[in-house]
Structure 1
Amino acid sequence: MVELTLHAPWFLLSVETFDAEIRDCSMTRTVCIAWDYDLAEVLRGLDSDRVLGIVCMMPAWASSNGQWSSREVREVWMCTSDAGQSVLLCDAAGQEFDCGLVPEHVEPLKKDLLLCVAPAKPRRRPFSQRKTPPSGNRRSRRASTRKAGA
């Protein structure tokens, strides 16, 4: 069980890691990150091709439904001006948002793209994660997919 005492946005970052000894073997590691600046620092040190996804968990005060909600993050930007730095995020719908603690930027404003996450490709879920068990046995399923006359 995890209890959140601070009602501020936080992040789930999923990264693909590869086994150095087994070819074509990878695993998804997901880490919780508390602050947008920490997310930006982690992303600077990662190969962008390894990032599978970022989810921003939004507290009730920042959500339209008054409950914790999530937003899929597609872009992470670092904004810099004479007023300071801030992290700007862009969700899957193309809407820009921040985590609420942003300085009043003044021109000129410099925006640097830290990461652009490609939309997730649907993956076939292993049997152990499916909601319904497979029907029949493997032989009958293989046979049902063969072309006539094969």
Structure 2
Amino acid sequence: MSSELSLSVVDQSPVRKGGTARDALTETIELARAVERLGYQRFWVAEHHNLANFAGTSPEILIGQIAANTQSIRVGSGGVMLPHYSAFKVAEVFRMLETLFPGRIDLGIGRAPGSDQITAAALSYPRPQLDVRHYPHSRARHA
């Protein structure tokens, strides 16, 4: 049993008062660089849509930028919301990231709407929105 503690960060790219979305994304990348220097193991980014106070609408792009600006920290999504996207396309995008940054990319997926209903409908257009019941439940689910 190892006594080593593994630390991670989850960052939502918040837009601070007086700041811009660009500032928030730049600050997320700088935070990743700082925690890497401190020895953290992983850096996770979150996906949010249609919220002015969060800049992270596209985790796959932000993950690539973070990985390109760091050397060793693992970088991942704190949940790509599958109801909005083709699962095959998500797999291809993350395979590409893994090809560019071998051994450093993590894919976290989710099935929640992740936004208000109008935004969720816009993200899935032109196909109908998938209900969360479309996706399998975790084996760890309690009855």
With the shorter chain as reference, the TM-score category is: under 0.3
Larger Rg: 1
Bigger relative contact order, structure 1 or 2 (CA pairs below 8 A, ≥6 apart):
2
The structure in which a higher percent of residues are strand is 1
Between Structure 1 and Structure 2, which shows a larger proportion of helix residues? 2
